[in-house]
Chains A and B, each alone.
Chain A
């Protein structure tokens, strides 16, 4: 009789060539993709040069995306991108994405069809957990793991235990994936899923778009999770067929799989949620905010919320309205293809007419890189993923994490609010 496993455990067992794995077990797993960006790859390349065997295991299974400080914000970041570009050229890396083709890595890779259900993926970027939305095991690592992964095609893992989130109900109009994940982080805390998988299941998932699911899986790391993972349904299959030529494999958690904890999230009860400074767990629903939180900036974009659904929602809010004088609103489509779609659908026109600016795809302001750094004392509502001290600029600036609907509505009013109050 086989022992029960979670969805994550099944994917890890298959990639370790084992019939069964259990929580706590150390394994070595084969990788389907190794990812790096312009900040983490140069460090990995330096480490790789120290290895005796230093050729890449598979030039088609490495993705290098110049997105954080690109288009290059200064000479040092230009040198870093050059280092990665030369490496990609030397090793004939097929999935090297530079300015013109690049987008924010975690929006780009699924869009390019490089990750599909059943994969095991590591990326030298903490938000690599995003691809769990497709039913893949994917997790963030550091540059040394990336270097070892590029050479050996393998990584060591401690098999995680899991927390199960049973999603039920249908969300109300302005509630999106961002509100779901902020609600969860507020409930379990920034270390609530430390070292664990966050496995989402339940009838309510059918009401979550793929973009909602990407947002939710993306922020699993903000609860300390090793990965966040969704079951594969018709919507996932449709997405993969549209974007990828690769074969996918569907894994399902056993009915009697063991979970450390189980929570039920009724989507119909959720409200627009904001995480106050300086931790993503400091959540409040917008209707609970007593004193108005006036803002100087609104950022709509990032690997969390720069996808087409996010831009559509923001544009719907901006339609016929204008950004409040004194507020700077920055919209960053996450990839070139999303950008183009937004132009074709007229969303970019709406943003510009509303007084927002539209940037080329980049991680930019999310990590205080460029394209919207905050001065001391400034407040920003942002659809990004972290509101740590100094994350977006001055150490006494403040970031309020929210959905695209709230970020757009707040830009119009000048203080944090939902579209219902417009």
Chain B
């Protein structure tokens, strides 16, 4: 499984309130919700993201609320993977549970610049920076979590397990 796209870079502690502000949380339609993705940190986000693009951030990405709307709007926006030095734990769970690929890698988080072309091999955890011709070793997921991601989320995983 691979992801490939243009990287868009953000800083440390990107919280779920800026990823999807609470004023939109009553919206149930996921496409409509996603039009507000990252609105309070980057008003232009939804216009510049193309399908497959990659979000790169620093420490503690997704801190704050447990709202699953946060990884969901990122996924629905077309982002193929979020790379961060670390993720807040509820965001980490939620991303896996809804099938949004994420990967922790300090080196990639530091060295990838805005608009670099990036490719990720999820099986090996290797992140290729095609613009800078560099590669970084990310933390591959334990087998259990890979199974959930491959099933595209926890619900499918549980359904498959019950078969």
A interface vs B, CB < 8 Å?
26, 39-40, 42-43, 46-47, 50-53, 68-69, 73-74, 76-77, 79-80, 123-126, 128, 140-145, 147-148, 151-152, 156, 190-191, 194-195, 221, 224, 226, 279, 367-369, 386, 388-391, 395
Contact = CB atoms under 8 A, between A and B. Distances in A.
Interface in B94-149: 94, 97-98, 142, 144
Interface in B13-36: 13, 15, 17-18, 21-23, 25-28
Nearest to A144: B97
Q: Nearest 10 pairs between A and B by C-beta?
A: A76-B26, A142-B94, A142-B68, A191-B60, A144-B97, A367-B22, A126-B66, A140-B66, A388-B17, A143-B68
A302 B41 CA distance: 25
Contact of A144 (B18, B28, B154): B154
B46 interface: no
Most buried by B among A69, A152, A191, A195: A191
Contacts of A390: 17-18, 21, 40
Interface string B58-72: 011001111111010
14 contacts: A47-B155, A69-B25, A74-B26, A76-B26, A126-B90, A140-B90, A142-B71, A142-B98, A144-B68, A144-B97, A148-B97, A191-B88, A368-B17, A389-B17
B159 interface: yes
A333 B101 CA distance: 41
Nearest to B156: A50
Q: Size band of the B side of the interface?
A: 35 or more
A357 to B, nearest CB: 21
Given A143-B94, A369-B23, A388-B17, 10 more contacts: A42-B28, A53-B162, A77-B26, A141-B90, A141-B94, A144-B94, A148-B155, A194-B86, A221-B90, A386-B65
B145 to A, nearest CB: 8
Given A39-B25, A389-B40, A142 B66 contact: yes
Contacts, number: 132
A123 B22 CA distance: 18
B143 to A, nearest CB: 9
A80 B68 contact: no
B155 A50 contact: yes
B5 interface: no
A51 B158 contact: yes
A26 B142 CA distance: 9
A147 B155 contact: yes
Contacts of B68: 40, 43, 124, 142-144
A26 B69 CA distance: 25
B13 A190 contact: yes
Contacts of A389: 15, 17-18, 40-41
Contacts of B88: 191, 194, 224
Contacts of A50: 155, 159
A152 B158 contact: yes
Contact of A80 (B15, B28, B90, B154): B28
Contacts of B60: 190-191, 194, 224
B58 to A, nearest CB: 10
A191 B92 CA distance: 13
A141 B93 contact: yes
Contact of B89 (A51, A68, A128, A195): A195
Contact of B21 (A26, A51, A123, A368): A368
Contact of A43 (B21, B23, B64, B69): B69
